[in-house]
Every structure is written in C-alpha cells, then in structure tokens.
Structure 1
Amino acid sequence: MKSMLIISRQAPWSGPGAREALDIALAGGAFDLPLGLLFLDDGVFQLAASQQPAALQQKDLTANLQALPLFGVESLYASARSLQERGLDSTALSLVAEVLDDHALSALIDRYDQVLTL
C-alpha cells in the first residue's frame, strides 16, 4: 500500500483547503492508508489553540483535528520556520505535532510515495 503525505498550507479561515485536507486525512485513516499530515505556511494556524472561528462565521476545525488520532492519523508534522514566522509557540499547540526544520521537512517529503498539497 502506498503512503501519502498531505500538506495543509491554508489557514483554517482562508477557504476550504484546510477542511478538505482534514477530510482527506480522516478518510484515509479510516481505510488504514499509511499517511502523514504536514502543517506548512499558514496551515500551522490550524494548530493554534483558542481559535474563535465563529467571529469569522467559519466552522471550527478543532473537533476534526482532535479526531485524527482516533482515525489512525498519528503522523502529524509542523514546519518550525512556519511556526516561528507566525509567532506560534510549538509548545502551546492544540495537537502534538513533530516540529521539523527545513532539512527534516525535505527528508520527510521524500519518505512518502505520494504527496498531496492543499
């Protein structure tokens, strides 16, 4: 079975990309597809604690994110540079994600058979 890395690059409130990435990850996890989920660029905002999406008339993705381990999606990664550039503290994220530098990100992407970017 081929492995898949889903790269989520959109903030949770900037359009459907963040929700679509989570939906694909949850569906893949339900079918025991070996996959990982990488939060990159504005996608790291999905991991920020205490989001208030209702203020922007958006749906809260927190429940979907919290469900990832229940669906077998336990390989979660975040870009150290993306977190730093956006002022997010890696120790205060809503989910435990392995924080990787640029070199480790490149190696991570090379490990997967297929890469899907949203």
Structure 2
Amino acid sequence: MSKSLLVISRQAPWSGPSAREALDIVLAGGAFDLPIGLLFMDDGVFQLAPHQDAKAVQQKDLSANLQALELFGIDDVFASSQSLTERGLTSPSSTQPLNDEEISQLIDRYDQVITL
C-alpha cells in the first residue's frame, strides 16, 4: 500500500525554484496514483493569485501546472486561510481554505510531509 504524501508549498512563485519543485513533486505523485495532497501556506499562496506575469521576474509560469493538478487526479488542494487573508487573496474554487486547527489535522492525516 502506498504511503500518503502531503507537500506544503511556502514559497512565492517568483522567489526561486521551490514553488515549481513542489508542483513537480505533486504532479509526479499524481501520475503514479499516489495518495497526495498539496497545501499552500505563507507566501506560497501567491501561486494561487490570478494574472501573474512570470516573464517580468524571469520565472516559469506555474499556472499551467496548477491547472494540471485536476488532470493528474490531485483533488486534495488546500490553502491557509490566514495566509490568504494576510496577503489580500481569495481561495480559488479548486482550493479548500483551512484554518490553523484544520491544517494541523490535515498534516496528521498524511504519512509523509515535505515542505518546500
């Protein structure tokens, strides 16, 4: 039986490769039908902001990767409601906002957790 994996993405899409690497791990896990979830926290919630201009900061546009999550069977996509609020963002319909207590419970549900 496969162990479940939660990837926590804490980096903004323009701050370096961590955001892209988190999405790559999740998509690879989805391709192999692993039980996997993705949680956006801290500046990682900026990945959910619409209308980003990745070329302006010389980074790869991650919006296509985010849209591919559903195609790869990744239904467990979450965001910290506190992080969203602090940054003036709202959660897309494909992402479930969670408070701190719910995040703690979520982390406990997974066998392994990777934070990037």
- What TM-score do you get using the length of structure 1 for normalisation? 0.95
Q: CA RMSD in A?
A: 0.9
Structure 1: gaps spanning 5 or more residues = none
SS at structure 2 position matched to 1:51: coil
Q: Deviations over 1:53-95 (max 9, x none)?
A: 11111110000110011111110000000001111123xx3x6
Deviating beyond 2 angstroms after TM superposition, the runs of 4 or more aligned structure 1 residues are: none
- What residue is the counterpart of 1:115 in the other structure? 113
* Percent identity between the two aligned chains: 69
Equivalents in 2 of 1:15, 1:58: separation in Å? 8
1:1-118 map, 5 Å = 1-90=2-91, 93=92, 96-118=94-116
SS at structure 2 position matched to 1:78: strand
- What TM-score do you get using the length of structure 2 for normalisation? 0.96
